[in-house]
């Protein structure tokens, strides 16, 4: 199992026609652009610690609406996440965010705030991704879960956060298996430097 690994890039978001073709190939609904009405449900927490065991090659971050088209028990990784163009579509349109890291037991400190400018000094590595949140729910899962998908996200891996677009800044702290995740609110899908899945940590 392995992601299409990428290098830094300034690739633009696919145009509307190309997005529609990819969505149709994925079996996803083709949104008309009608504004989404946020759900008033759920208590928003500014800081929360998530606990995650991984056996796959990384982590995936998403809001449940983005994976609603995936059937229970489906091997979505093999059918879609091993295809570079599909992975790029998910990433640059903020459908999902993903990062490569070795299997382990991770504690992820999620903070709804701008990342400090000196974050790189306190972390081994730092990457920036993007994600769209709906229904005030954001999930952090093992990439291995995509091989046999279950729609229910375990409670220790989910957090409540305001709807909208976020720039996700992940920092691998110097303490092993500790990750800090800053969620920076944005008015639109942030322009990303990664056309695929970047490394946060290597073996």
> What are the distances in angstroms from CA 9 to CA 13, 22, 87, 171?
12, 20, 14, 20
From CA 114, how far away is CA 190, in angstroms rounded?
14
Coil, strand or helix: which one is 168? strand
The band of 3, judged by pLDDT with boundaries at 50, 70 and 90, is: very low
**Residue 10 counted as domain residue:** no
Coil, strand or helix: which one is 178? strand
**Residue 191 counted as domain residue:** no
The band of 38, judged by pLDDT with boundaries at 50, 70 and 90, is: very low
Q: In b/e form, how buried is each residue of 95-121, taking b as 16+ CB within 10 angstroms?
A: bbbbbbbeeeebebebbbeebeeeeee
200 token code pair: 């946060």
**Residue 169 counted as domain residue:** yes
Range 77-102 average pLDDT: 84
R_g over Cα of the chain: 16
**Residue 64 counted as domain residue:** yes
Q: CATH no. for residue 182?
A: 2.60.34
The band of 36, judged by pLDDT with boundaries at 50, 70 and 90, is: very low
What's residue 195's pLDDT?
62
What's residue 81's pLDDT?
80
Pick the closest to residue 102 from 146, 58, 61 (CA basis): 58
Instruction: Look at 22-36, 107-121, 131-145 and tell me which has the smallest mean pLDDT.
Output: 22-36
DSSP element (H, E) containing 120 = helix 119-122
**Residue 143 counted as domain residue:** yes
- Who has greater pLDDT, 91 or 112? 112
Domain coverage including residue 164: 16-31+46-186
**Residue 11 counted as domain residue:** no
- Who has greater pLDDT, 197 or 165? 165
**Residue 9 counted as domain residue:** no
User: Are the C-beta atoms of 127 and 167 separated by less than 8 Å?
Assistant: no
- Number of domains forming the structure of the chain: 1
From CA 133, how far away is CA 41, in angstroms rounded?
13
What's residue 148's pLDDT?
94
Pick the closest to residue 91 from 163, 160, 22, 147 (CA basis): 22
Question: pLDDT tens digits, residue range 54-86?
Answer: 998 899 999 999 999 999 999 999 888 877 778
**Residue 60 counted as domain residue:** yes
What's residue 125's pLDDT?
94
């Amino acid at each position: 199992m392995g992601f299409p690994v990428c290098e830094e890039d300034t690739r633009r978001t696919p145009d509307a026609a190309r997005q529609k073709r990819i969505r149709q190939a994925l079996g996803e609904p083709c949104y008309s652009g009608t504004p989404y009405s946020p759900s008033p449900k759920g208590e928003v927490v500014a800081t929360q610690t998530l606990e995650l065991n991984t056996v796959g090659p990384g982590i995936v971050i998403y809001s449940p609406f983005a994976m609603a088209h995936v059937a229970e028990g489906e091997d979505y990784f093999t059918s879609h996440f091993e295809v570079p163009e599909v992975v790029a579509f998910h990433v640059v349109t903020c459908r999902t965010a993903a990062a490569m890291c070795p299997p382990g037991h991770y504690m992820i400190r999620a903070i709804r705030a701008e990342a400090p400018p000196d974050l790189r000094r306190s972390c081994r590595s730092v990457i920036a991704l993007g994600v769209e949140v709906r229904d005030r729910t954001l999930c952090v899962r093992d990439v291995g879960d995509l091989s046999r998908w279950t729609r229910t996200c375990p409670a220790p891996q989910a957090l409540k956060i305001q709807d909208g677009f976020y720039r996700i800044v992940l920092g691998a702290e110097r303490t092993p298996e500790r990750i800090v995740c800053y969620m920076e609110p944005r008015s639109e899908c942030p322009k990303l430097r990664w056309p695929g899945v970047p490394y946060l940590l290597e073996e």
